[in-house]
Amino acid sequence: MDTMAGKICLITGSTDGIGLEAAKTLASLGARVIIHGRNAEKGTRALATIRQLSPQAQVDFVRADFASLSEVRAMAEEVKSLVPHLDVLLNNAGASATGSLSYSTDGYELTFAVNHLAPFLLTNLLLDTLKAAPRARVVNVSSLAHKLGSFDIDDLMTEKAKPLHAYFRAKFANILFSNELARRLRAHGITSNALHPGTIKSNFGSESLQTAIFYKLARPFLMTVKQGAQTLIYLASSPEVEGKTGGYYAKCELKQPAKETDDKLLANKLWEKSEALVGL
């Protein structure tokens, strides 16, 4: 049943894991899908996988390293040249928690740069493309980890806290951004929702020894990639969430995130600081 026929979806971080699983499903439902990753070889393999499962699928690959804002800008231009509009922007790409700080091409703390600044910039650059669709959706992958640690608007680069807090803060920022986007785009009929996909058996977290050990020990209790992708697919395609915006979901149900994520003043401050950091 082609419930997504005629829809165009961009899924970041979709050459493996839950992003690829979402791409496979949305393509099977009839959507034209643009997948994204930083590795061209993995992109080619992902395209082949989707085409094998859905031979009629229209699927493209765009390459960009989210550790570089100039590559994010180039990717946005490529997407705009490929499609007339976007029905779904699924901000899924991210970097996992690490035990030490590292920095992006632009000199920003890497976890925050990849998880928040890159999708913030990409979404803003694609706003006109989203507005060109009848009823577009933005879906932002956050994490239950946003409830850990504390969010400090004056320490976005995690210079005054343990490195692990960079991930917690980035995931908190995802929800602040998602909620602020919902408020700003409500008049345009565009929805914005955030989600926690679950803790999943995937390659996510393998960059850090600490998180790699955790995932190895916890593996028997983790969700499969297919299970972890369900909330992404639900928010991207389900008629049940048509017109619903500013929510935070887990297991395809509306959940309550940390109370502070609904702080409009804090969300606006983050938006302004993010605009300055990415040069909008």
Q: How far apart are CA 42 and CA 175, in angstroms?
A: 29
Q: Amino acid identity of 57?
A: A
Burial grade of 256 (CB within 10 A; 0-12, 13-18, 19 or more): exposed
Q: How many residues does the chain have?
A: 280
| Catalytic positions | 167
Q: How many CB atoms lie within 10 A of CB 217?
A: 9
3-state secondary structure the chain: CCCCCCCEEEECCCCCHHHHHHHHHHHHCCCEEEEEECCHHHHHHHHHHHHHHCCCCCEEEEECCCCCHHHHHHHHHHHHHHCCCCCEEEECCCCCCCCCCCECCCCCEHHHHHHHHHHHHHHHHCHHHHHCCCCCEEEEECCHHHHCCCCCCCCCCCCCCCCCHHHHHHHHHHHHHHHHHHHHHHHHCCEEEEEECCCECCCCCCCCHHHHHHHHHHHHHCECHHHHCHHHHHHHHCHHHCCCCCCEEECCEECCCCHHHHCHHHHHHHHHHHHHHHCC
Which pair of structure tokens corresponds to residue 139? 């879906």
Which pair of structure tokens corresponds to residue 7? 């829809």
